[in-house]
């Protein structure tokens, strides 16, 4: 009876104070959203684990070849390491704690080394297990050169790098010397990726062009004009026959390297970062900045839509066994969040 008495008085009070009534209704609405989003969110049943990373502004994440570790780098100088055995992410001590911004990193295929590129013209190669710096490769003597991308070749004998110029330098990992240079005469290269079989290297820059090099001849295999503006993300299919790309027109395109043709895979939404599953059966992409959609690659059918982060999702990556998907937001404020998702039940 006491509760009904107080409820009756509250109704009378709100009916006499319209401003207070409106505020009360808004707070109730926000409360319902909070409860649904964080307590009864049915879309997060695939979420295995999440962890907060500081400093924030993470730009890249990558699984180690054995799938037991995730490395992440960002704009505050650290390389973060997370163990992900089982279903839980656990932070272990980070390294490379300098003021220089880290843009990209790459695990060696044997899992023993990490190469990182940063705002200075130096490529660092680390034994990440004991945090020892093994080598520092000087890309250029210019202070203004920024290493924007590094990648080990699939066999691990070669390391490629670029620094916001028109060159991809190819290093011998053993001798630590440049053995070749791939030159793009008309465009500044910002990112590139090796095909899984190591036969191709795909590169893009500040425009809509994608250049594919044959790594055996070091000659251009093919060129594609893809989007209206610069390329956002690229990933090779596991059979190395297809390159999926997204650009500033937010469509997913497929580049057929055999027939040197392109087609549109999805254009129903705004797509950003993307990744193939290791078996090539699924293609995942960040959608509208905050969701991740997974598609059946053969049928183009949407399999799953995940409401992932409250900040813009910067990067996604499949685990080597294809059972888990990692995502990270690009928050530049207090923290970034890395999340681990179970995608093993997709059919």
Residue spans per domain, the chain: 1-40, 47-342
Burial of 120 (0-12, 13-18, 19+ CB in 10 A): buried
pLDDT above 60 for 33: no
Q: What span, in angstroms and rounded, lies between the C-alpha atoms of 298 and 26?
A: 46
Average pLDDT, rounded, for the chain: 84
The phi and psi torsions of 26 (rounded to 5 degrees) equal -65, -45
Domain spanning 47-342: CATH superfamily: YVTN repeat-like/Quinoprotein amine dehydrogenase (2.130.10.10)
pLDDT above 70 for 41: no
Looking at residues 150-172, what average pLDDT do you find?
93
Q: 22: which residues sit within 8 A by CB, 6+ positions away?
A: none
Q: How confident is the model at residue 307 (pLDDT cuts 50, 70, 90)?
A: confident
Instruction: Please state whether the predicted TM-score (pTM) of the whole model is above 0.95.
Output: no
Burial of 197 (0-12, 13-18, 19+ CB in 10 A): middle
Q: Say how many C-beta atoms besides its own lie within 10 A of residue 242's C-beta.
A: 22
Cis peptide before 55 (omega within 30 of 0): yes
Q: Number of helices (H) and strands (E), helices first, in the chain?
A: 2, 28
Q: What span, in angstroms and rounded, lies between the C-alpha atoms of 48 and 33?
A: 22
Inter-helix orientation angle 18-38/2-16, to 10°: 120
pLDDT-wise least confident of 55-59, 105-109, 152-156: 55-59
Q: 21: which residues sit within 8 A by CB, 6+ positions away?
A: 14, 15
pLDDT above 80 for 45: no
The 10s digit of each residue's pLDDT in 271-291 is 999 999 999 999 999 998 889
Q: How confident is the model at residue 43 (pLDDT cuts 50, 70, 90)?
A: very low
The pair of structure tokens assigned to 237 is 């299919």
**More confident site: 40 or 312:** 312
Q: 């670029």: which residue's tokens?
A: 162
Nearest 10 degrees: Cα torsion 119, 114, 55, 192? 50
Report CA Rg, the chain.
Answer: 23
Q: How confident is the model at residue 2 (pLDDT cuts 50, 70, 90)?
A: very low
Q: How confident is the model at residue 186 (pLDDT cuts 50, 70, 90)?
A: confident
- What percent of the chain shows pLDDT beyond 90? 55
Q: Say how many C-beta atoms besides its own lie within 10 A of residue 77's C-beta.
A: 17
Q: How confident is the model at residue 143 (pLDDT cuts 50, 70, 90)?
A: low
Entry field: residues in the chain: 347
Q: What span, in angstroms and rounded, lies between the C-alpha atoms of 37 and 46?
A: 14
pLDDT at 34: 46
The pair of structure tokens assigned to 155 is 């066999």
């Amino acid at each position: 009876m006491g509760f009904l008495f107080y409820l009756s008085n509250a109704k009378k009070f709100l009916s006499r104070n319209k401003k207070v009534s409106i505020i009360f209704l808004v707070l109730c609405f926000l409360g319902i959203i909070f409860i649904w989003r964080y307590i009864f969110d049915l879309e997060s049943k695939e979420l295995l684990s999440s962890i907060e990373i500081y400093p924030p502004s993470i730009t890249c994440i990558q699984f180690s070849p054995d799938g037991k570790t995730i490395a992440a780098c960002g704009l505050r100088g650290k390389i973060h390491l997370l163990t992900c055995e089982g279903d839980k992410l656990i932070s272990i001590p980070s390294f490379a704690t300098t003021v220089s911004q880290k843009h990209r990193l790459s695990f060696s295929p044997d899992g023993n080394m990490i190469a990182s590129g940063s705002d200075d013209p130096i490529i660092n190669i680390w034994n990440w297990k004991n945090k020892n710096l093994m080598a520092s490769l000087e890309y250029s003597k210019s202070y203004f050169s920024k290493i924007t991308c590094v990648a080990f070749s699939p066999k691990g004998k070669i390391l490629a790098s670029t620094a916001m110029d028109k060159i991809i330098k190819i290093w011998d990992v053993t001798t630590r010397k440049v053995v070749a240079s791939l030159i793009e005469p008309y465009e500044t290269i910002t990112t590139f990726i090796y095909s899984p079989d190591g036969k191709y290297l795909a590169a893009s820059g500040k425009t809509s062009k994608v250049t594919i090099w044959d790594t055996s001849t070091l000659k251009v295999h093919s060129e594609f004009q893809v989007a209206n503006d610069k390329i956002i993300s690229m990933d090779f299919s596991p059979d190395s026959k297809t390159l999926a790309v997204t650009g500033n027109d937010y469509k997913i395109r497929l580049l057929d390297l055999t027939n040197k043709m392109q087609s549109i895979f999805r254009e129903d939404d705004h797509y950003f970062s993307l990744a193939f599953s290791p078996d090539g059966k699924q293609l995942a992409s960040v959608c509208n900045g905050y969701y991740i959609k997974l598609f059946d690659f053969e049928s183009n059918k949407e399999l799953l839509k995940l409401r992932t982060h409250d900040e813009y999702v910067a990067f996604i990556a499949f685990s080597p066994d294809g059972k888990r998907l990692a995502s990270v937001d690009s928050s530049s404020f207090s923290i970034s969040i890395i999340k681990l998702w179970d995608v093993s039940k997709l059919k």
